[in-house]
Structure 1
Amino acid sequence: MQIPPEALQPETLRALIEEFVSRDGTDYGEQEMSLEEKVSQVSRQLSSGQAVILFSESTGLCNIVPKELL
């Protein structure tokens, strides 16, 4: 199920993005980025529709994925 970012409280959305960008295996290439930079980048992608929040009812887990993968 797709969840619009605006449906979440700002604190919840921020926590979800922070958890996503700090996962093992999240790669931002050769350039080091701060947590704030990573959060801002993902937030912009969600706002622009380039990325979406998916929620799995069967597992209870959320993920952020590029819209092109849907």
Structure 2
Amino acid sequence: MDFIDDNNSPENDVKPPIAIELDRLSADVIDAVIEAFILREGTDYGVVEISLDKKKEQVLKQLNKKELHIVYDFNTDSVTVMTDRDWKKLPRSE
């Protein structure tokens, strides 16, 4: 009789995302992640157009203050920037 080994099911391979500390990344990588994040966010419909460099500056400040986090998701092999509030809502490993 064959048994199904539930320990090898895909659900057991799910890993929680991790926040990556800025000091673990080069300045070029941080810049690329920030730029990709800004460009993904779409068009700025504010009253005053803000330059990409200014937006990057603002995001970097928020990262340094821990208001934003660079997060790596093992399951999708992707990196994103998220707010501290959203980061705290994510499930953690036990």
Structure 1 unaligned spans of 5+: none
TM-score, normalising length: structure 2: 0.67
Query: Comparing both structures, which one devotes a greater share of its residues to strand?
Result: 1
Deviation at 1:26, TM superposition (A): 3.7
| Deviation for aligned residue 1:28 | 4.7
TM-score for both structures, normalised by structure 1:
0.87
1:6 to 10, 23, 47: 23
Gaps of 5+ in 2: 1-17, 89-94
The structure-2 alpha-carbon separation of the partners of 1:5 and 1:38, relative to structure 1 and needing over 3 Å to count, comes to same
Correspondences of 1:1-70 after superposition (within 5 Å): 1-23=18-40, 25-26=41-42, 28-30=44-46, 31-69=48-86, 70=88
What is the aligned length?
69
Name the CA distance, whole Å, in 1 between partners of 2:36 and 2:59.
11
| Runs of at least 4 residues off by over 2 Å | 25-29
- Rg larger in 1 or in 2? 2
Following superposition, the deviation at residue 27 of structure 1 comes to 5.8
- Aligned partner letter, 2:32: A
**Structure 1: distance between partners of 2:32 and 2:20:** 15
